Amino acid sequence: MDDLFTAAASERLAARGPLADRLRPLSLDDVVGQDHLLGADKPLRALVATDRLSSVILWGPPGTGKTTLARLLAHASSKAFEALSAVTASVKDIRSVTAAAQERLGTEDRGTILFLDEIHRFNKAQQDALLPAVETGLVVLIGATTENPTFEVNPPLMSRSTLFRLRPLDAEALEKLLRRGLEAESVTADDEAVEHLVGAAGGDGRHLLTSLEVSVALARSRSERAGEAPGAVANVTLGDAEAALGVAAVRYGRDDHYDVVSAFIKSIRGSDPDAALHWLARMLEAGEDARFVARRLVIAASEDVGLADPSGLLVAEAAARAVEYVGLPEARINLAHATVHLALAPKSNSAYAGLGRAVEQVRSGPVGEVPPHLRDGSYRSAAGLGHGVGYEYPHDDPRGWVPQRYLPAELEGATYYRPGRHGREGALVAAWMDRTSELGSAKMGYGTHAGEPEHEGERDQ
């Protein structure tokens, strides 16, 4: 009788539980996103198909399906399943699980999978207590973490586990999940509401479904107040979505995507940190992919700041790595750091413009031949062909430089790089000219190109 009551309670709980729990996938085929792990012939899919699952660490942001995936992996296996949370579990709990696994293996000849949620919360002693069972294969560990396991999980445990990184859900996966939620709730939604909920989710499927659940409740309440017939299908509007999230929708269609990022880059190029921060905020609040913003910063660091402040590229690249390592929302701070740095920095597009001139010349020809003294002279018959003969090694000269020709004969005297005068670049060029004084200003001097715009070749964003 108790079993009947327990079963009935479980059914009611499943029907009334949070939408995210009710929509939890029942098979790997139902999982949205993570195609790089679960697609045909991908690593996790192959391990499950062959029932050869070994210990794994699932690393990813919240709401990307780590817990769901762990349970599905266990369900697809013939092994028993145990679950612990590192927030509440103790060494005693670990020993209890390993003892049960030992008994199960001896009496049933059946292995055990242990799912350990938030494994990064385990201290060294707790992780060490788990290590022998993982090391011998008594327990197959599936650890889940939002933190970089390289820093948070003991090296011996990491070396016995395969690391799989889960990605934030993209817009397509989030919309697919939201449509499932609408169907489960038997409601409809305006396209604007769908777009707003997806954009505000930040790649987090659980956050999306929680927001949808509140939006549905608001839509139904509004429908009842309007006196609509009982059983009428409620419709989620943009207003419902905004109220559920507590955030007004930022208009950001396809055209806005290109226009806003153009304004962002041009504000950096124009050395206006306030405007650059405004456009950055517009993009982030609209749900723009932080990795896209980071890529634009890395490009701007070389295209618009360049040699005037070489550290700009280091700052932008560090911000891009922070987006991957830290994730949103905190990575917004790193993006702002890089944005302000690049906006404040002196500007030079000399490297970008110089490459453009070189590419134009290469495409239009002629390009000439590699000078014999610059050719590969490392193989036995090279000297007989004149390859590498006459090459002077700059490091053998006290100046660290020797006058010799590096361009093809047909292009001798061609000038692609035209130095800027701002920031660090002026000092770099002055020092270069001092070292290579035999070339003098005829090759790179300011006088040769004094009448040409420093920012020639600016491209439109």
Asked if residues 265 and 324 have their Cβ atoms less than 8 Å apart, the reply is: no
* Whole-Å CA distances, 34 to 74, 117, 126, 137: 17, 19, 30, 27
pLDDT value for 225: 81
pLDDT value for 327: 78
pLDDT at 4 over 50: no
Query: pLDDT band at 60, cuts 50/70/90?
Result: confident
What pLDDT, in 10s, does the model give residues 113-135? Answer: 999 988 888 888 888 889 999 99
Tokens of 167: 């990605």
What secondary structure, in 3-state letters, does the chain show? CHHHHHHHHHHHHHHHCCHHHHCCCCCHHHCCCCHHHHCCCCHHHHHHHCCCCCCEEEECCCCCCHHHHHHHHHHHCCCEEEEEECCCCCHHHHHHHHHHHHHHHHHHCCCEEEEEECHHHCCHHHHHHHHHHHHHCCEEEEEEECCCHHHHCCHHHHHCCEEEECCCCCHHHHHHHHHHHHHHHCCEECHHHHHHHHHHCCCCHHHHHHHHHHHHHHHHHHHHHCCCCCCCCCEECHHHHHHHHCCCCCCCCHHHHHHHHHHHHHHHHCCCHHHHHHHHHHHHHCCCCHHHHHHHHHHHHHHHHHHHCCHHHHHHHHHHHHHHHCCCCCHHHHHHHHHHHHHHCCCCCHHHHHHHHHHHHHHHCCCCCCCHHHCCCCCCCCHHHCCCCCCCCHHHCCCCCCCCCCCCHHHCCCCCCCCCCCHHHHHHHHHHHHHCCCCCHHHHCHHHHCCCCCCCCCCCC
pLDDT value for 337: 96
* Whole-Å CA distances, 130 to 84, 90, 115, 123, 143: 12, 11, 12, 11, 12
What pLDDT, in 10s, does the model give residues 293-341? Answer: 999 999 999 999 999 999 999 999 999 999 888 877 888 999 999 999 9
pLDDT at 253 over 70: no
pLDDT value for 319: 94
Residue with tokens 């880059």: 265
Span 416-420, average pLDDT: 86
Query: pLDDT band at 15, cuts 50/70/90?
Result: low
Mean pLDDT of the chain: 83
* Phi, psi of 325, rounded to the nearest 5 degrees: -80, -45
pLDDT value for 325: 82
What pLDDT, in 10s, does the model give residues 20-47? Answer: 889 888 888 888 988 898 888 888 888 8
pLDDT value for 272: 93
Higher pLDDT, 431 or 442: 431
* Phi, psi of 83, rounded to the nearest 5 degrees: -135, 135
pLDDT at 90 over 70: yes
Percent of the chain residues topping a pLDDT of 70 = 89
Looking at 264-273, 308-317, 355-364, which range is the least confident one? 355-364
The pairing of strands 162-165 and 139-145 is unpaired
pLDDT value for 454: 42
pLDDT at 425 over 60: yes
Q: Which of 412, 413, 410, 416 is nearest to 452 (CA)?
A: 416
* Predicted TM-score (pTM) of this structure: 0.54
Looking at 144-158, 180-194, 364-378, which range is the least confident one? 364-378
What pLDDT, in 10s, does the model give residues 133-179? Answer: 999 999 999 999 888 888 788 888 998 899 999 988 988 999 999 99
pLDDT at 252 over 70: no
pLDDT value for 250: 55
pLDDT value for 304: 92
